[in-house]
A and B are shown apart, each in its own frame.
Chain A
Amino acid sequence: MKRAGAFSWVMMVLGLLFLYAPIISMMVFSLNNSRLVTVWDAAHSPTFKWYGALLDNDEILGAAWLSIRIAVVSSTCAVVLGTLAGVALARFGPFRGRTFLVGMTTAPLVMPEVITGLALLLLFITLQQAIGWPHGAGFITITLAHITFCTTYVAVVVQSRLAGFDESLEEAAMDLGARPTTVFFRVTLPLVVPALVSGWLLSFTLSWDDLVITQFVAGPGSSTLPMVIFSKVRLGVSPDVNALATLMVLLVASGIVVSAIWMNWQNRRRERDAQLAAASNL
């Protein structure tokens, strides 16, 4: 394999620096004693006082709890819906409405969030007038909105995972007499498990992180964590947000690293099983 040239490597290093410099600076300043966020108070730093302050902040804790509940429910529902869509697109061949489903699973990926947010809010208001449900904005409306945009991500992940396998496995199971429903649960579904795991994690972070759509569909009184953070940082930099950001980055990073290692291990085990199976056939 040809190696990339020196120029590309320089750009790679600069690019990584660009990606990580803000995060690292945020982490460093979360340990700063001074309230003036960017002035390093060498005499009294590092300190963990901003982390302590977070634990006393009921507004942030309450918002974080709301965000977690919304993210868990939305990503779980999105995995179910997205898997159905992904399986249909990858395995069902041509069917009526396929173009529609393709559009519905790719357009939300790029749709500017202000448009989606406005559209969903107007839908909820119209529904409320027509059938009296959902009653007021809040947990329900935010969750419905999050399920909708997370579904498309899951569908794409599942679809590309299935596209990576040909259908000979499923056909073999059918030739051996398995019924289609059995094939689905015993062959197709296990194949997509890694996609389900990453789809769920992706949905969780997208939901946990979403500000713009949520701001539209959240009623008064239900503020998610990004909404609280946004209203704080609009007024300028604040050290407790640095502490919160550091915690979130560390939590997510360790989650990603652990799941990457787990998937790597799973893949290796599968390869080993395949080799064993091949060897026993000799």
Chain B
Amino acid sequence: MALAKHMRGRRVVISIPMIWMGLLFLLPFLIVLKLSFSEERLAIPPYAPFLEWVGGLPHPVLHWNNYAFLFTDPLYVSSYLYSLKVAAVSTLWCLVLGFPMALTIARARQPWRNVLLMMVVLPFWTSFLLRVYAWIGLLKHNGVINNVLIWLGVIHQPITMLQTDFAVYVGIVYSYLPYMILPLYANLEKHDPQLLEAAADLGARPFKAFLRVTLPQSIPGIIAGSLLVFIPAVGEYVVPSLLGRSDQLMIGRVLSDEFFENRDWPVASAVAILMLVLLVAPIMLFNHFSEREIEAHK
């Protein structure tokens, strides 16, 4: 703290990022909130002004009908529920696949550990869009997977995989897997191996030792990784657009359609605000955990 107290530029250092993020992250949300209570208008911009002047005084007008509309039209409710389901199932699969991978990396000897870590992170650095796109070629009717399975004689007719829930799960698990593995690895790497030895000395079999020693210690990593997958997955747009069903949209797609196709900005804003309301608890939990993880590094 010594550095901080005396530094002349301290206030400047703090306030520049604070002002930037306040202006370009917080303020925009307030505008969305404001707009979600506005009315659609055939004008530029296509919404009614927030303040109306009544007798020379500004008078804020709150229209609740955008929200009412979201609850009356079954399209929106089913999209929200479907998005939550897709995000939850994908998070679970990321955990099932990611946990053993993180464990293997954390327990591998050097230089294997670094090599494996790099192999997991490398795809994450390459284009997300193109990696999702690559799955089209694998999953489609006359795609690689169907061709290989037919060639092997496992199936005789191609299976429909593209534009199904399965394809969306595959796409989301695929794109978010590193987000699950990295926090888990960071957690597992810190475990004291002597605890497992002690458990073994006391007669615990490996599986029991895993359940009673490794798993409880890794809960913070599991929570951080799951939130890192779950929260953005709820609003995922690219994966369902390229791989998903056309009869059941995810909420991210609904928001974008509402804005670009229907040009109904107030309803699009209301969709965004409701999504935020659903996600506010997980986001705050994530803030809490990531701050604690960084503190724990000290």
Once bound together, how far apart are the Cα atoms of A129 and B108, in whole Å? 58
Contact B2 A151 (CB under 8 A): no
Interface stretch among A22-30, A52-60, A274-282?
A22-30
Contact B13 A163 (CB under 8 A): no
Closest B residue to A251 using CB positions: B126
Write 22 A-B pairs (CB below 8 A) sorted by A numbering. A11-B104, A21-B138, A85-B18, A91-B4, A97-B18, A101-B14, A102-B287, A109-B228, A110-B228, A111-B231, A111-B235, A112-B231, A113-B232, A147-B24, A148-B24, A180-B3, A184-B3, A184-B7, A241-B133, A244-B130, A253-B125, A257-B118
Is B242's beta carbon under 8 Å from chain A?
Answer: yes
Contact B25 A104 (CB under 8 A): yes
Once bound together, how far apart are the Cα atoms of A95 and B256, in whole Å? 39
Query: Beyond A25-B138, A110-B227, is A103–B236 a contact (Cβ under 8 Å)?
Result: no
* A/B pair count, beta carbons within 8 Å: 308
Q: Which of B221-268 contact A (CB under 8 A)?
A: 227-228, 231-232, 234-238, 241-242, 252, 255-256, 259, 265, 268
Contact with A along B272-295 (1 / 0, CB 8 A): 100110010011001100110011
Once bound together, how far apart are the Cα atoms of A257 and B174, in whole Å? 22
The dominant DSSP class at the A interface is: helix
Q: How many residues of A contact B (CB 8 A)?
A: 112
Report chain A residues within 8 Å CB of B97.
Answer: 11, 14-15, 18
A80 CB to closest chain B CB (Å) equals: 9
Query: Beyond A101-B21, A112-B252, is A248–B126 a contact (Cβ under 8 Å)?
Result: yes
Once bound together, how far apart are the Cα atoms of A19 and B294, in whole Å? 28
B291 CB to closest chain A CB (Å) equals: 6
Interface stretch among B55-63, B74-82, B142-150?
B142-150
Contact B130 A245 (CB under 8 A): yes
Once bound together, how far apart are the Cα atoms of A119 and B235, in whole Å? 14
Interface stretch among A42-50, A68-76, A204-212?
A204-212
Once bound together, how far apart are the Cα atoms of A103 and B120, in whole Å? 28
Selected contact of A171 from candidates B2, B104, B133, B177, CB within 8 Å: B2
Contact B101 A15 (CB under 8 A): yes
Query: Beyond A2-B196, A25-B137, A211-B129, is A12–B104 a contact (Cβ under 8 Å)?
Result: yes
Contact B107 A2 (CB under 8 A): yes
Contact A101 B17 (CB under 8 A): yes
Once bound together, how far apart are the Cα atoms of A93 and B14, in whole Å? 11
A115 CB to closest chain B CB (Å) equals: 5
17 more A-B contacts (CB under 8 A) besides A91-B4, A180-B6? A1-B193, A7-B100, A15-B101, A15-B120, A18-B97, A23-B134, A39-B142, A95-B14, A114-B272, A116-B25, A118-B269, A119-B28, A122-B265, A148-B25, A180-B8, A212-B237, A216-B259
Contact B128 A209 (CB under 8 A): yes
Query: Beyond A91-B3, A101-B18, A118-B259, is A212–B283 a contact (Cβ under 8 Å)?
Result: no
Query: Beyond A110-B283, A252-B126, is A100–B18 a contact (Cβ under 8 Å)?
Result: yes
Contact A104 B2 (CB under 8 A): no
